[in-house]
Amino acid sequence: MTESRLLDDLHISEKGCLWYFAYGSNLCRTQTKRRLGTVPTAQVAELRGYRLVFNKRSNDGTGKANLVPNPHHSVWGVIYCCTEPDIKHFDFYEGVEWGHYRHEFVRVITATGQAITALTYVAGEDFIDQALWPSADYLETILEGAKEHGLPAVYIAQLWEWKDRI
CB 117 within 8 A of CB 11: yes
Tell me the CATH number for domain 3-157: 3.10.490.10
Provide CB contacts within 8 A for 100, sequence distance 6+: 56, 94, 123, 124, 127
Annotated binding residues, written as ranges, equal 20-25, 138
- In angstroms, rounded to a whole number, what is the distance separating the alpha carbons of residues 123 and 143? 20
Assess whether 94 carries a catalytic annotation: yes
Q: Contact, 162 vs 54, CB < 8 A?
A: yes
pTM for the complete prediction?
0.90
Q: What's the Cα-to-Cα distance from 125 to each of 17, 57, 80, 102, rounded to whole Å?
A: 29, 10, 26, 9
Report domain extents, the chain. Answer: 3-157
- Residue-level pLDDT, tens digit, the chain, 166 residues: 444 344 445 555 556 789 999 999 999 999 999 999 999 999 999 999 999 999 999 999 999 999 999 999 999 999 999 999 999 999 999 999 999 999 999 999 999 999 999 999 999 999 999 999 999 999 999 999 999 999 999 999 999 888 767 6
CB 25 within 8 A of CB 19: no
Per the residue annotation, which of 3, 46, 94, 140 is the catalytic one?
94
Known binding residues for substrate are 20-25, 138
